[in-house]
Copies of this chain bind each other. A is one copy, B any other.
């Protein structure tokens, strides 16, 4: 089962993305909030993201959907910091917009789709014309 971790500059924003997407889920996979730092400020913490990865790791893989800038850098850091027992190739940052990607992911992640297929579909979300 592929898990998805949401990493935004705002923990509350990520919470709301997850609430919206949970409503649209067709299959009960873990959709987790990896956002936020201690205190009231905006940002993310690679250690928080690393813990989310460790707690939800399976060989099916994990996809991180992050918003912008440091959310992506901290996600990369989190993956780098993982110990050997985790296969880093199974943990991917999706090249997809945060909200739109998360909405599409819950429509696709049905327990059969592979990590590679899901990443490909998420990348296509960038081409949606508004």
Contact = CB atoms under 8 A, between A and B. Distances in A.
Interface stretch (A14-22, A26-34, A45-53): A14-22
A98 B95 contact: no
A129 interface: yes
A93 B23 contact: no
A98 B96 contact: no
A67 B67 CA distance: 14
Interface of A: 8-10, 12-13, 15-17, 19-20, 23, 42, 66-68, 72, 93-100, 103-104, 126-130
Given A9-B20, A67-B100, A93-B130, 11 more contacts: A8-B99, A9-B103, A10-B16, A10-B20, A12-B19, A13-B19, A68-B100, A72-B130, A95-B130, A97-B99, A126-B127
